[in-house]
């Protein structure tokens, strides 16, 4: 148990729809990262939020957006869903210590299926 | 950004030490080496990380070569519950964010 929770566990959407995934970080963690994991692949970094501002972004289009709130919760929003967006979405929280010296704790993930 | 190379799969007998190698020949001087594992579609679990020195915690030991171009994760007494995909990751920073670049990892199977 990492203390990081995600909701919902599973979700089914159709192409073109919008989706919001939620994450609750460990208490006191000021940084949250989101990852996409396609079947059979390792997780891919989407973006990171530090104190409610985007702090870095991977190779994902702008239709992937996020929010981080003061109460240690955060959201991942995906607009105009495509079939390739079907994946396990993981959030990870951390304390953002010295750059690089900062272990991330992952939630169980949300399995998104786009039909 | 530094990348890592790991064997695709390994087997280990239950109760024996599991030694998982990782090559990261392009690592920069201030980049950390992290190990995570993922058990069947659960979220990745942090194991250990280090910069230059060898590290040990309650789960594993991390041995980093002096030139930092490779490392080995050691699970001292593997159990069936250690069967998982193990990721060796070099953490790089993009505008202050610590990004975990997951490769394909090593699938470790612990055999009874």
The pLDDT profile of chain A, 115 residues, written as one tens digit per residue, is 778 999 999 999 999 999 999 999 988 888 899 999 999 889 999 999 988 898 888 899 999 999 999 888 999 999 999 999 999 999 999 887 666 677 889 999 999 999 9
Three-class SS of residue A104? coil
A43:B100 CB<8 A? yes
Percent of chain B with pLDDT over 70: 93
Average pLDDT over all residues of chain B: 90
For residue B36, the model assigns a pLDDT of 96
SS3 content of chain A, % helix, strand, coil (to 5): 5, 50, 45
Task: For residue A26, give how far its alpha carbon lies from the nearest alpha carbon of chain B (Å).
Answer: 14
Chain A residues close to B97, C-beta within 8 Å = 33, 47-48, 50, 55-56
Task: Count Cβ–Cβ pairs < 8 Å, chain A vs chain B.
Answer: 81
For residue B72, the model assigns a pLDDT of 97
For residue B102, the model assigns a pLDDT of 86
Chain A residues close to B49, C-beta within 8 Å = 101, 103
Instruction: Report how far residue A66's alpha carbon sits from residue A78's, in angstroms, rounded to the nearest whole number.
Output: 9
**Of residues A96, A100, A109, nearest to B30 (C-beta):** A100
What token pair was written down for B52? 């230059």
State which residue of chain A sits closest to B88, comparing Cα positions: A42
Burial of A109 (0-12, 13-18, 19+ CB in 10 A): buried
Per-residue CA distances from B95 to A39, A56, B62 (Å): 29, 6, 28
Instruction: Report how far residue A41's alpha carbon sits from residue A115's, in angstroms, rounded to the nearest whole number.
Output: 20
Region label for A3, one of left (φ > 0), alpha (ψ between -120 and 50) or beta (otherwise): left
Pick from A11-15, B6-10, B49-53, B75-79: least confident: B49-53
Picking from A22, A18, A38, the residue whose alpha carbon sits closest to that of residue A91 is A22
pLDDT at B94 over 60: no
State which residue of chain B sits closest to A107, comparing Cα positions: B43
> CB contact, 8 Å: A112 with chain B?
no
**Of residues B44, B100, B103, nearest to A45 (C-beta):** B100
Instruction: Report how far residue B69's alpha carbon sits from residue B64's, in angstroms, rounded to the nearest whole number.
Output: 8
For residue A72, the model assigns a pLDDT of 84
Chain A residues close to B46, C-beta within 8 Å = 103-106
Sign of the CA dihedral with A101 first, then A88, A60, and A70 last: negative
Picking from A1, A11, A24, A10, the residue whose alpha carbon sits closest to that of residue A74 is A24
């Amino acid at each position: 148990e990492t203390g990081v929770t995600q909701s919902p566990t599973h979700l089914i959407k159709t192409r073109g729809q919008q989706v919001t995934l939620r994450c609750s970080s460990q208490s006191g963690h000021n940084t949250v990262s989101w990852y996409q994991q396609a079947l059979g692949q390792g997780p891919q970094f989407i973006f990171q939020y530090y104190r409610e501002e985007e702090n870095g972004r991977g190779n994902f289009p702008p239709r992937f957006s996020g929010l981080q709130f003061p109460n240690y919760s955060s959201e991942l929003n995906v607009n105009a869903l495509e079939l390739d967006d079907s994946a396990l979405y993981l959030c990870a929280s951390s304390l953002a210590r010295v750059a690089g010296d900062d272990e991330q704790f992952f939630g169980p993930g949300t399995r998104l299926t786009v039909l | 950004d530094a990348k890592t190379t790991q064997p695709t799969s390994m087997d280990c007998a239950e109760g024996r030490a599991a030694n998982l190698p990782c090559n990261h020949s392009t690592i920069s001087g201030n980049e950390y080496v992290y190990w995570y594992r993922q058990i069947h579609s659960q979220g990745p679990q942090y194991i250990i990380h280090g910069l230059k020195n060898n590290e040990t915690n309650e789960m594993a030991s991390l041995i980093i070569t002096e030139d930092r171009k490779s490392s080995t994760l050691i699970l001292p007494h593997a159990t069936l519950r250690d069967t998982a995909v193990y990721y060796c990751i070099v953490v790089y920073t993009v505008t202050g964010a610590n990004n975990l670049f997951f490769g394909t990892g090593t699938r470790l199977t612990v055999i009874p």
